[in-house]
Structure 1
Amino acid sequence: MSSEETEVLVIGAGQAGIAMSEHLSERGIAHIVVERERIAERWRTGRWDSLVANGPAWHDRFPGLEFDVHPDAFAPKETVARYFEAYAEKIAAPIRTGVEVTAVRRRSSGPGFTAETSAGTIHARYVVAATGPFQRPVIPAVVPAEAGIHQLHSSGYRNPQQLPDGAVLVVGAGSSGVQIADELRRAGRKVYLAVGPHDRPPRSYRGRDFCWWLGVLGKWEMAAPPAGAEHVTIAVSGARGGHTVDFRRLAAEGITLLGRAGAFERGTMRFAPDLAANIARGDANYLDLLDEADAYVARNGIDLPAEPEARVIGPDPECLTDPILELDLAASGITTVLWATGFAVDYSWMEFDAFDDRGRPRHHRGVSVEPGVYFLGLPWQSRRGSSFIWGVWHDARYLADQIMIQRGYHAYLPEAATAAGASTPSDSGLDHVAALAASGAL
Structure 2
Amino acid sequence: MENIKTEVLVVGAGQAGIAMSEHLGDRGINHLVLERDRIAERWRTGRWDSLVANGPAWHDRFPSLEFSSVADEEFASKDQVAEYFEEYVAKLEAPVRTGVEVTQVTRNVGRPGFTVKTSEGTIEANYVVAATGPFQKPVIPQIVPESAAVHQIHSSSYRNPQDLPEGNVLVVGAGSSGVQIADELRGSGRQVYLAVGPHDRPPRRYRGQDFVWWLGVLNKWEMSAPPQGAEHVTIAVSGANGGHTVNFRTLAHNGITLVGRASGYRDGLLCFDADLAKNVARGDANYLSVLDEADAYIEANGLDFPLEPEARELGDLPDCIANPVLELDLESAGVTSIIWATGFSVDYSWLEADTFDERGRPKHQKGVSEEPGVYFLGLPWQSRRGSSFIWGVWHDARYIADQIMIQRGYAAHPPIKSSAQLSTSAIG
Cα distance between partner residues in 2 of 1:145 and 1:313: 39
Cα distance between partner residues in 1 of 2:186 and 2:353: 47
Partner of 2:314: 313
Partner AA of 1:394 in structure 2: H
1:227-249 Cα shifts (integer Å, max 9, x gaps)? 01001110000000000000010
Partner of 1:121: 122
| C-alpha displacement of 1:70 | 0.4
Cα distance between partner residues in 1 of 2:169 and 2:364: 40
Aligned residues: 421
SS at match of 1:219: coil
1:88-141 Cα shifts (integer Å, max 9, x gaps)? 110111000000011111113410111110010011000000000000000111
Cα distance between partner residues in 1 of 2:43 and 2:218: 30
Cα distance between partner residues in 2 of 1:420 and 1:403: 32
1:5-39 Cα shifts (integer Å, max 9, x gaps)? 11000000000000000000000000000000000
SS at match of 1:89: helix
Partner of 1:168: 169
SS at match of 1:10: strand
- TM-score of the superposed pair, with normalisation by structure 2: 0.97
Matches within 5 A, 1:253-332: 253-332=254-333
Matches within 5 A, 1:379-394: 379-394=380-395
Cα distance between partner residues in 2 of 1:376 and 1:391: 10
SS at match of 1:327: strand
Partner of 1:339: 340
Cα distance between partner residues in 2 of 1:286 and 1:363: 32
Cα distance between partner residues in 2 of 1:147 and 1:222: 42
SS at match of 2:221: helix
Partner AA of 1:42 in structure 2: R
Partner of 1:202: 203
Partner of 2:79: 78
Partner of 1:130: 131
| C-alpha displacement of 1:299 | 0.3
Partner of 1:396: 397
- TM-score of the superposed pair, with normalisation by structure 1: 0.94
Q: After the TM superposition, which segments of 4 or more aligned residues of structure 1 sit over 2 Å from their partners? A: 414-417
Cα distance between partner residues in 2 of 1:229 and 1:289: 16
SS at match of 1:309: helix
| C-alpha displacement of 1:352 | 2.0
Partner of 1:8: 8
Partner of 2:253: 252
Partner AA of 1:365 in structure 2: K
Partner of 1:37: 37
Matches within 5 A, 1:61-100: 61-68=61-68, 69-100=70-101
Partner of 2:27: 27
Partner of 1:106: 107
SS at match of 1:313: coil
1:291-342 Cα shifts (integer Å, max 9, x gaps)? 0000000000011001000001100101011110000000000000100000
Cα distance between partner residues in 2 of 1:400 and 1:280: 43
Cα distance between partner residues in 2 of 1:332 and 1:262: 18
* Unaligned ranges ≥5, structure 1: 422-442
Partner AA of 2:162 in structure 1: Q
| C-alpha displacement of 1:346 | 0.5
Cα distance between partner residues in 2 of 1:4 and 1:212: 44
Cα distance between partner residues in 1 of 2:285 and 2:311: 13
Partner AA of 2:159 in structure 1: R
Cα distance between partner residues in 1 of 2:50 and 2:224: 32
Of all paired residues, the percent bearing the same amino acid is 72
Cα distance between partner residues in 2 of 1:321 and 1:388: 35
SS at match of 1:294: helix
Cα distance between partner residues in 2 of 1:109 and 1:37: 34
| C-alpha displacement of 1:420 | 7.0
Partner AA of 2:120 in structure 1: A
Partner of 2:226: 225
Partner AA of 1:146 in structure 2: S
Partner AA of 1:363 in structure 2: H
* Unaligned ranges ≥5, structure 2: 423-428
Pairwise CA RMSD: 1.3
